[in-house]
A and B are shown apart, each in its own frame.
Chain A
Amino acid sequence: MQVSFNEIETTLRKAAVGAGVDEGTARELAAAGRWLSERGVDGAAAVLASLTSMPGPCRSNLIRIGGPGTMDRALESPGVATRIEGCDVPLALLGLCGAAADQFGIGARLQGAGWSAVVSDRTLSTSGVVPRGPADIDVVVVAEPIHQPGSTVDRPTVEAEVWAALEELAARTYVPSSPESAASAGPGHQGAD
């Protein structure tokens, strides 16, 4: 199904919160999903995988340490490799690094076994196959954008099952309706004036 980029970002943020992620990390995951989607990669599926595929410690490995935390450390030490071991969803990490690179006007190189990737403002280029499952990855921040050929797409497509799963997670953040709740938004008005 076709969705807008804004829908991807807002739905991913809510889904992440619904999955139990803190607000700040949820926003970064959402931005990561959007960044990937803008470059023709299924960012929604990547973030969903990071939220649901691995329970417990593995999931937190990506979200708390291997995701934003990895990029935090890499940003502290430009030019030096920061290693994450057993990153659950490497594609989501690419998105996190890409969104961070976009925000700070920098670049980053990611290196795994048999594959590598470069992320920068408009660029996502890969060589080899980015693994779907757990992988050890080195992240190196470069202080300036890395200009390589890259393209963006006009409209993202998301698999219906992925979207349904994200909306189900997002719905965990909604408060069920009740008459008292409806009243708290302000009185209704039958507009005969």
Chain B
Amino acid sequence: MSVEVENLCGVGELHPSGPLRTPAEVMQLDRMGCFFPSRISFMRALLRDLHAHEATVDRRLWDIDEDGFGRAVYVVTIGDRPYSLVAFSTPLEDRARTDRVIAEAWDTTYVLYDGVPSGEELDRLASVVPRQEASRYTERELVLSRANRSVRLFDHVVESLSDGRQPTDEMVGSIGYLMRTTAVYGNGKFGIADRRTLIDRPCLAGPFRAEMLTVWLIRTFTLELVEHIAASRAPGSAAQLERRLQRHLGIGNATGLGMAPFLVNHPMLLNNWMLARETALARVRAVRSADADHIRRFRQLLFRARHHVQQWTTEHAEQSGRIFTLRIELSQVADVVDGPFLASGEPWDRLVAISSRWSQECGELLVSLLLELYPDLVDGLADCMTATEVSRPDPTMTVAELASEVDDHFAWAVALDFDSPANSSRFWYVSEDKLEPRLGDRRADAGVELESPLDIARRVNRLAAALDRFDSDASVADVLAEMPEHRHAVLRVQTVARHPYSELRNNLIGEDCRPLDMLRSKLSFFGASKFDPKSDRWTRVTLFQGAPLTDELGDTFADDWWLPVLDPA
């Protein structure tokens, strides 16, 4: 099945495009769990937009003591509208430092504030922000976040700078961030502003833009914090952190199961993210021939990607094995493109075609690499990644039509036997512990009666069986009047019929479901790299590594930090 793109956000017809990869091919978690960041990832697009709007960042308040505790305010001005990152740094005992969302104290806490807070507002924020989820907020607060120190690197950098020297490349390269966020909340959580507040704001209208802006500013705070502490310890003799090291230091993030249900609960958004990415790839594949500049650029980026992968390490056995394989495969890719391969017609299409000989990890890295080559074909699609979710099914569809859509999009789910324990061994639920989503063992764990509705495959399987009881010309309204419990499944089928990339083609309650793949795919859209899984349920990543600093938005490299490498001094 090929997928047609109908005037995607008004830009779909501007560029030649080949057929898109089908949902059956790409909406598989084993593939999505191999995604890499790309130039339409949210943090890349955000920084491009900030530059285009001549945004500026300045530090308005720095009330931090010699140990690094206190408050600071950074103001980013976009057009004539200011936003403030308000940061609070507080002492934290080592035993209280945890990546889990159920933590109750952090090294630092943050809020992205709509405007510039007055002294009175700062005091209000100081009384609520360090308590995070335990507080209530107002519509002036746009994003809420917190971060803990990476103690090993944070201390090493402070000690090095206070001794008048630079931290080692080995330490900076192996960890890659001074602090790690453990949650970044937006869209109305705990009373903060709804996302609709931002839909007409320059730079912030796209998905997760405000959240990414917050993280980028947090990165600035962490860099200035280590220099401040070092200077306090050694006034007049402390070193300043080299720019190349500052750029390589991003922000860590620890992500667990909480991110997984998002992809299932936002099918329209998922569709638009995937559709933008696949459309971008199809446009690049449709390029008839590559000129010398593009071939040279491809080789440069491949060289960088190979270095990046060399610097990507993890203790996770499976991912470590994948990285090992990827290193070998990228050298094979280099061998292929060093020859005449790229000189003939449709070079990128042929490269994607032969990438099936390598791992999906390699294939998806090549997809992201190819998008780097053609900003003119790709970048506009970053503006097409928002969506409005729908909540009700279309009752006028006939049973025959609905059954046909089930066949087209969910045949794989209908074929599953959910009486088999292997196909329903797990269940998703929400714990009363900070409402953390979790994954349980159906045979062993309590709470199965409170299962969350992530069992889409099973629901559609049951719907398909129920449809057999109705005449083919009966309406969906007839079905739902008699069997309202299928309302959600009907909506999912109708949604994927119109938005083909809206549905994961995996049984999320089966024993072979790997939540980690859901996390990586979503994080890749954010722009995360250096995936460092800690289990099949949570991972660490690095955000904004290699990104321009706040005073570098207009520099030539400012949009050229895909898969960054720490170059030697």
Q: How many angstroms from the CA of A76 to the CA of B257 in the assembled complex?
A: 40
Whether A188 pairs with B100 at a CB distance below 8 angstroms is: yes
Q: How many angstroms from the CA of A134 to the CA of B217 in the assembled complex?
A: 54
Q: Identify which of B436, B481, B534 contacts A189 (C-beta below 8 A).
A: B534
Per-residue CB contact flags for chain A residues 2-33 toward chain B (1 = under 8 Å, else 0) read 11111100000000000000111101101100
**Least Cβ–Cβ distance between A74 and chain B, in angstroms:** 9
Given contacts A28-B392, A177-B431, contact A193 B484 (CB under 8 A): no
Closest A residue to B492 using CB positions: A24
Q: Contacting chain A: which of B77-85, B183-191, B277-285?
A: B183-191
Q: Contacting chain B: which of A44-52, A62-70, A108-116, A124-132?
A: A62-70
**Least Cβ–Cβ distance between A81 and chain B, in angstroms:** 16
Q: How many angstroms from the CA of A28 to the CA of B446 in the assembled complex?
A: 29
Query: What residues of chain A lie closer than 8 Å to B102, measured between beta carbons?
Result: 182
Interface residues of B in 484-505 (CB under 8 A from A): 484-491
Whether B393 pairs with A174 at a CB distance below 8 angstroms is: no
Q: Identify which of A6, A75, A191 contacts B97 (C-beta below 8 A).
A: A191
| Number of A-B contacts defined by CB within 8 Å | 179
Q: B391: CB under 8 A from chain A? A: yes
Q: Identify which of A3, A68, A104, A154 contacts B191 (C-beta below 8 A).
A: A3
Q: How many angstroms from the CA of A109 to the CA of B102 in the assembled complex?
A: 47
Q: B175: CB under 8 A from chain A? A: yes
Q: B438: CB under 8 A from chain A? A: yes
Q: B254: CB under 8 A from chain A? A: yes
**Least Cβ–Cβ distance between B243 and chain A, in angstroms:** 25
Whether B150 pairs with A191 at a CB distance below 8 angstroms is: yes
Given contacts A72-B477, A184-B438, A189-B99, contact A175 B450 (CB under 8 A): yes
Given contacts A23-B488, A193-B151, contact A7 B436 (CB under 8 A): no
Q: A36: CB under 8 A from chain B? A: no
Q: How many angstroms from the CA of A182 to the CA of B431 in the assembled complex?
A: 8
Query: What residues of chain A lie closer than 8 Å to B196, measured between beta carbons?
Result: 5
Whether A176 pairs with B446 at a CB distance below 8 angstroms is: yes
Q: How many angstroms from the CA of A171 to the CA of B433 in the assembled complex?
A: 11
**Least Cβ–Cβ distance between A153 and chain B, in angstroms:** 11
Q: B558: CB under 8 A from chain A? A: no
Q: B312: CB under 8 A from chain A? A: no
Closest B residue to A29 using CB positions: B391
Closest B residue to A13 using CB positions: B391
Given contacts A184-B445, A185-B257, contact A103 B99 (CB under 8 A): no
Per-residue CB contact flags for chain B residues 97-111 toward chain A (1 = under 8 Å, else 0) read 111101000000000
Q: B344: CB under 8 A from chain A? A: no
Whether A68 pairs with B487 at a CB distance below 8 angstroms is: yes
Interface residues of B in 165-202 (CB under 8 A from A): 175, 180, 187-196
Which 10 pairs, one residue from A and one from B, show the smallest C-beta to C-beta distance?
A: A24-B487, A6-B188, A4-B188, A175-B447, A24-B488, A72-B395, A186-B537, A72-B477, A31-B391, A174-B432
Give chain B's interface residues, CB within 8 Å of chain A: 94-95, 97-100, 102, 136, 138-139, 148-152, 175, 180, 187-196, 254, 256-257, 390-396, 429-433, 435-441, 445-447, 450, 453, 475-477, 480-481, 484-491, 534-535, 537-538
27 intermolecular pairs with C-beta atoms under 8 Å apart:
A1-B136, A3-B191, A5-B188, A7-B189, A22-B485, A22-B488, A23-B487, A75-B394, A75-B396, A100-B392, A172-B450, A173-B430, A174-B430, A174-B431, A175-B431, A175-B450, A177-B432, A181-B433, A181-B447, A186-B257, A186-B534, A188-B100, A190-B97, A191-B98, A191-B150, A192-B94, A193-B151
